[in-house]
Amino acid sequence: MATLVFWIDVDNTLLDNDTIKERQNEALHAEVGPQLAQRYWDIYEEVRNERKVVDIPLALERFREHIALSEMDDLTYQHVHSIFTNFPFADELYPHVMETLDYLNRIGQPVIVSDGDLHYQAEKIVNSSIASAVDGRVLLFVHKQHHLAEISACYPADRYVVIDDKPQILVDIKKIKGDTVTTLFVKQGKYADAGFTDGFVPDLTVEQIGDTRFITPEQFLHPQASAR
């Protein structure tokens, strides 16, 4: 039988990152108040615009640098740091994530392929038990679409399935890999209704990640035939 390898995103695909951010913001307000909390998120956005990727460690570092000790002492900063680095990520897995990963393990080889800052993303993936659910098959990149040949070489397959909530990631990968990949759009998070550019249509779409466990290997291998 043809081999399947699944390239699975993390934020708003397996983990409800929007809720994580909301909970972190609530904790931040409780720790430092609304003005400093807003200053943190302003720095967060500055870093994201600068690096074109979310970088929590760098945002926290700059937050410490930019806020005087008279406004936030070091002990308070350590509490702020802990809000992000000790967050209970497993609590925010979407429903049926583990069952879905188990199903994909049975029909192919799921690989976590995530982008973002490498340290914080690794913490999320390990602490949420996602890494152990895929037997440690985790690849992290600042921008994963720039590393497709490397990803393919690490885990060769007859067919790759890209599972992601971000329309542009699916568009970019399909342009590069063409018919060697099946694109699966997960309609979760802030991009759920964003739409696709240039008339692009993903090969498969699910309303939530748990629905992926009902897609057959044949549908992953031949999505055009299953759509007819």
Q: What's the CATH number where 110 sits? A: 3.40.50.1000
| Domain coverage including residue 53 | 17-89
Boundary (domain end) residue, out of 48, 71, 89: 89
Structure confidence by residue, pLDDT tens digits, 6-51: 999 999 999 999 999 999 999 999 999 999 999 999 999 999 999 8
Residues 42 and 130 in one domain: no
Residues 71 and 12 in one domain: no
Residues 84 and 117 in one domain: no
Mean pLDDT, the chain, integer = 94
Residues 192 and 117 in one domain: yes
Cα(83)–Cα(192) distance, integer angstroms: 27
Residues 81 and 189 in one domain: no
Nearest alpha carbon to residue 111 among 136, 83, 129, 93: 136
Residues 126 and 213 in one domain: yes
Model's pTM, two decimal places? 0.92
How many separate domains does the chain show? 2
146 pLDDT higher than 70? yes
Burial of 108 (0-12, 13-18, 19+ CB in 10 A): buried
Cα(140)–Cα(49) distance, integer angstroms: 20
Q: What is the DSSP string of 101-130?
A: HHHHHHHSEEEEEEES-HHHHHHHHHHTTH
Supply the pLDDT for residue 226: 56
The percent of residues above 70 in pLDDT, for the chain, comes to 98
Boundary (domain end) residue, out of 68, 89, 110: 89
Boundary (domain end) residue, out of 89, 119, 153: 89
Structure confidence by residue, pLDDT tens digits, 96-132: 999 999 999 999 999 999 988 888 999 999 999 999 9
